[in-house]
Amino acid sequence: ASKESGRGRWTAYHPQMDEERETRNQMALDLRAAIDNEDIQVVYQPVVDSSTFELVSVEALARWNRPGHGPVSPDVFIPIAEASGLIDRLGLDVLRQSLMQLAEWPGLKLSVNVSPGQFRDPAFAGHVADLFYVTGIDPHRVVLEMTETYFIQNPERARTVLERLRKIGVQIALDDFGSGFSSVGYLRQFGFDRMKIDKSLVQSLGDGHRAVEMLQATVALARSLDVPVTAEGVETDQQAVNLRLAGCDQLQGYLFGRPCSPADIDALRLRPMDLRAKAAAIAFAHP
């Protein structure tokens, strides 16, 4: 209201706006300290083969326990990291930690999220190459996940960075597919190595038969471009069955495991029977 009111704008003062800004600034300061002190943690969520439920990959997810406040959701602190210029360091820290962890898990693949802000850093691809060099990890074991925002806003620039990353050997996945506006032409032009179906689409299953059709059409679109599909947010047996039938080769969600510590992933690797038994039980119940 202040813009149109001329002089009046000086009176249109909202203390709660200052308060919000103050809270965000304080959070950004604390986040910076957490990055400096190496207090950002990484948890790993299992990704399984859709027919055997064998553990094939893990997704690295950042966690921040803010002193005096408790855990802050990445949906809150990642945007703050983006806005305050911390995302480059935070993102590389998560990548470094998870590559070092992957060295302990031969045979597994890893996916790591990348923010649009990191794509804007001209040195990004070079930093990624350095991390593979120092950790000795084969880049073919790693998938970088990105949402469509940057591709839509900056297609030319995005293509250049993607080419550089591909030369390193990493794969690129489109995250949260089905939640935005991705068109066929755009999906084709970037040639993603994998699509991840957004959990909102997965969890709409059960809302009626239209939901199943939407999901099938979305997976079919990716498959028509020869792109393999992972479904995320899988919580029920029925969802798992529908997603496998729709053509997803990988599944991820609380049904198979929440994001967890490296020790919990070790345990899953030592007891693969648990997941296999679950697959058998579901196959028996939904022949």
Q: Does 78 bind ligand C2E (CB under 6 A)?
A: yes
Question: Contact at 8 Å (CB) between 195 and 229?
Answer: yes
Q: Which does 61 bind (CB under 5 to 8 A by kind): ligand C2E, Mg ion, none?
A: ligand C2E
Buried b / exposed e over 111-121, threshold 16 CB at 10 Å, is bbbbbbbbbee
Q: How far is the CB of 258 from ligand C2E (least distance, A)?
A: 7
Q: Residues in contact with ligand C2E, total (CB under 6 A)?
A: 24
Q: How far is CA 28 from CA 18, 32, 64, 82, 115, in A?
A: 15, 6, 12, 10, 17
Which is nearer to ligand C2E, 30 or 232 (by Cβ)? Answer: 232
Query: What string of DSSP letters covers 107-158?
Result: T-EEEEE--HHHHH-TTHHHHHHHHHHHH---GGGEEEEE-THHHHH-HHHH
Among 101, 113, 171, 230, binds Mg ion (CB under 5 A): 113
Among 27, 47, 56, 62, binds ligand C2E (CB under 6 A): 62
Q: Which residue has the tokens 């049904």?
A: 255
Q: Which of 119, 66, 65 is nearest to 92 (CA)?
A: 119
Question: Contact at 8 Å (CB) between 28 and 86?
Answer: yes
For residue 43, the SS3 value is strand
Among 254, 272, 285, 286, binds ligand C2E (CB under 6 A): 254
Q: Which does 133 bind (CB under 5 to 8 A by kind): Mg ion, ligand C2E, none?
A: none
Q: How far is the CB of 196 from ligand C2E (least distance, A)?
A: 7
Q: Which does 182 bind (CB under 5 to 8 A by kind): Mg ion, ligand C2E, none?
A: none
Which is nearer to Mg ion, 57 or 113 (by Cβ)? Answer: 113
Q: How far is the CB of 203 from ligand C2E (least distance, A)?
A: 7
Greatest CA separation found in the chain?
73
Which is nearer to Mg ion, 113 or 171 (by Cβ)? Answer: 113
Contacts of 190 (CB under 8 A, 6+ apart): 151, 158, 159, 162, 172, 174
Among 11, 16, 37, 73, binds ligand C2E (CB under 6 A): 73
Q: How far is the CB of 4 from ligand C2E (least distance, A)?
A: 38
**Residue ranges in contact with ligand C2E by CB under 6 A:** 45, 61-62, 73-75, 78, 91, 94, 113-115, 145, 175-176, 199, 232-235, 252-254, 259
